[in-house]
Amino acid sequence: MTTRAKPKIKNTYSTSRNVFAAIEKTLAENGAREISFQYESGKVVGLSFAMLVEGNVLRYKMPVDIGATHKVLQDQAETGLQYQRATRERAYQVAWATCRDMIAVQMAMVRIHAVKMQQVFLPYLLSHDEQYTLYDVMENEKFLLPTESQSSYTIEGGD
C-alpha cells in the first residue's frame, strides 16, 4: 500500500493589498477584460475575471480555499510554535499569495507560447449562467467525458 505525501505549500505571503494589486496587474497586463474580487465581511473570498480568447469573452473563477489552506498549514507544523502561527489569517495570506503566484506562472507560460490560455485556465471556466466551473461539472460527472452518442460536439479534423 502506497501512502500519499502530505501536500506542501509555500508558507509565504505579502500584505493582502500587495497580493490583490499584483493579481490585478498580472491579469490586466495579459488582456483581462473584467476583474472582480468578491467580498464577505470585508475580506476577499473570491476572484473572477474575463478574457477575450479567440473572439469569445470567457469568464473564469479562481479556486481559493482558506479553510483547506489552514488545515494544510496546521498539518505541516512541526513544532508548537509553527502550529500557533498557522492561524486562519496566515492561511488567508498564504492562499491568496499562492493564487497570485499560480496566475503569474500560468500567464508566463501563455506569453512564451508553451500553452494556450484555454488550457491553463480550463478547469476554472464558468458556465454561461456563471454558477459552475468546468471543474464542478466534470466532478459531478465523475470526470467522465460524454460518449459519442451523448455528445453534440465534433472535433474539427477528427475522423
pLDDT tens figures, 119-150: 999 999 999 999 999 999 999 989 998 777 77
Q: What pLDDT digit, counting tens, does each position of 61-104 carry?
A: 999 999 999 999 999 998 998 889 999 999 999 999 999 999 99
pLDDT on residue 153:
58
Q: Give yes or no for residue 24 having a pLDDT over 70.
A: yes
82 vs 155 pLDDT, higher one: 82
pLDDT on residue 83:
86
Q: Which pairing describes strands 32-40 and 43-53: parallel, antiparallel, or unpaired?
A: antiparallel
- CB 48, CB 38: distance < 8 Å: yes
pLDDT on residue 150:
72
| Sequence-distant (≥ 6) Cβ neighbours of residue 137 within 8 angstroms | 127
pTM: 0.81
pLDDT on residue 146:
78
pLDDT on residue 28:
97
User: In this structure, how many other beta carbons lie within 10 angstroms of the beta carbon of residue 54?
Assistant: 8
- CB 120, CB 109: distance < 8 Å: yes
Q: Give yes or no for residue 58 having a pLDDT over 90.
A: yes
